[in-house]
A and B are shown apart, each in its own frame.
Chain A
Amino acid sequence: MCANGDVTGTVPRYTFAGYPTRFPEQRPIPTVETMKVIEVRNLRKSYPHHVAVEDVSFEVAEGEIFGILGPNGAGKTTTVECVAGLRVPDSGTVRVAGLDPHDDRDELRRVLGVQLQSAALPEKIKVWEALDLYASFYPHPADWEELMRRVGLHEKRDTAFARLSGGQRQRLSVALALVGRPRVAVLDELTTGLDPQARRDTWELVEQVRDSGVTIVLVTHFMEEAERLCDRLTLIDRGRVVATGTPAALVAQAGGEQRLRFRPSAPVDHALLLALPEVRSVTGSGEHLEVTGVGDLAPAVTLALAEHRVVPTDLRVEQATLDDAFLALTGRTLS
């Protein structure tokens, strides 16, 4: 795969020797009981004029990508700022690798790398200078030359920060969060403002980082991003946790209904489909059929049709998304 510095280029796939590259689908989801690396209990934080976080609790397991998903102003950033020791909670407890972010400030910063929303660099600092400088802040930094290659910025080595594209800045930002070789990296609104291609490149980079053994806390208001990247996530709305679980579990919890539309090649008896355990309803007649249901709906329906030598043409599958789940749980949409 070729490494290319510009926005449309792809991020080179990177693996540590001896570690096979795994696809996210094949990855076993760690149970929280195995290794908690972050623990947040009843976190509350208010500002002079409003309460940003009412009551937030969650746990992050070692080695997962944990998402914090919610609309703008839900309290996501305040939550991770408390996790990163940048703000002192009014009440509740936070532990990161067993450390209290406020009392063990210095130690925490050695195990936690943070990429914050709206944290830039001096305009004229060059890519390599920023990495070199930030590496000097840590006792056992990563080899920043290698890190620079890994995020696909080696060709932009001597480019000033002000001249980097949005995607390149975010990749540099990720590299700076990783240069101290943290156990946990917090990435806040990583892809906001990026074009779709740069967004996908950044997602790929995040997966590579996870595969190298770093636990990731991803803050986002993009449903698509959370669905694509997160092993588990917590939905936050108005300073409270709405639900926590795998993306699929959250969708299912919210009623996770799927809908199939197709044009059958021959008339179909509705009862035939309604007999399937996955199917809930069948509507329409003649030209178009609409089938709703849960679970492996599409394979079950197509198989049943095939047994009766009916071909579903123009088949469309509409799946419930995290957006639908959020709507079902809060009565509000994400965006």
Chain B
Amino acid sequence: MSTLEIRNLQVSVDTDNGTVEILKGVDLTIKSGETHAIMGPNGSGKSTLAYSIAGHPKYTITGGSVTLDGVDVLEMTVDERAKAGLFLAMQYPVEVPGVSVSNFLRTAATALRGEAPKLRTWVGEVKDAMEALNMDPSFATRNVNEGFSGGEKKRHEIMQLELLKPKMAILDETDSGLDVDALRIVSEGVNRAKAANNLGVILITHYTRILRYIQPDFVHVFANGRVVEQGGPELAEKLEANGYADYVSK
């Protein structure tokens, strides 16, 4: 049983026009097995929250705390956060030219497990994970995210989620750019990871569409760098009907 606690998190970013405060005090508590949907309009700070927890160097933490089972996450390097059990499925996964998917996955698994996975079982693991996400076997020999379609990038992210078995996953607009079939396949992958590892999930999205496949326990509305409303799945229905206008007009 793990708990990710975000307390009064304040984050700024340096731009050409000076320092801009993006997160203005975010509080969230996520426990193993729970799924928290974070919904909100563009520019409300959802992705900043995701990247800040993962440790992207672009973001400066100016206040507050993030702990995983009481341990300070913000003090950790990016790889240490992954080793502690955090995973970020990125909205725009990065191309790494010349590095094959299979080499990348094996290097990551070796780093996270502390030893190289046994070749025979590993090959089977990767094959199963790829099949489950309806990915062609040739995928393993391609370079990481290079020339991938939007859907392939997202499947690749969720394949890593299943293979690397984190405790807590942040899914940053995993649904964007997916057609109905891909959305279902990717959602099933997330649900498998939840079931297999009692995964806690922060699901960042604009739309309620993905929530039909991945059932949230809590819904948080994000606006202007804060959580402005919280509720159960019914809140998503309300957003679907009314949009975000109520939260951004002032």
Do A and B truly interact? no
Interface residues of B (CB under 8 A from A): none
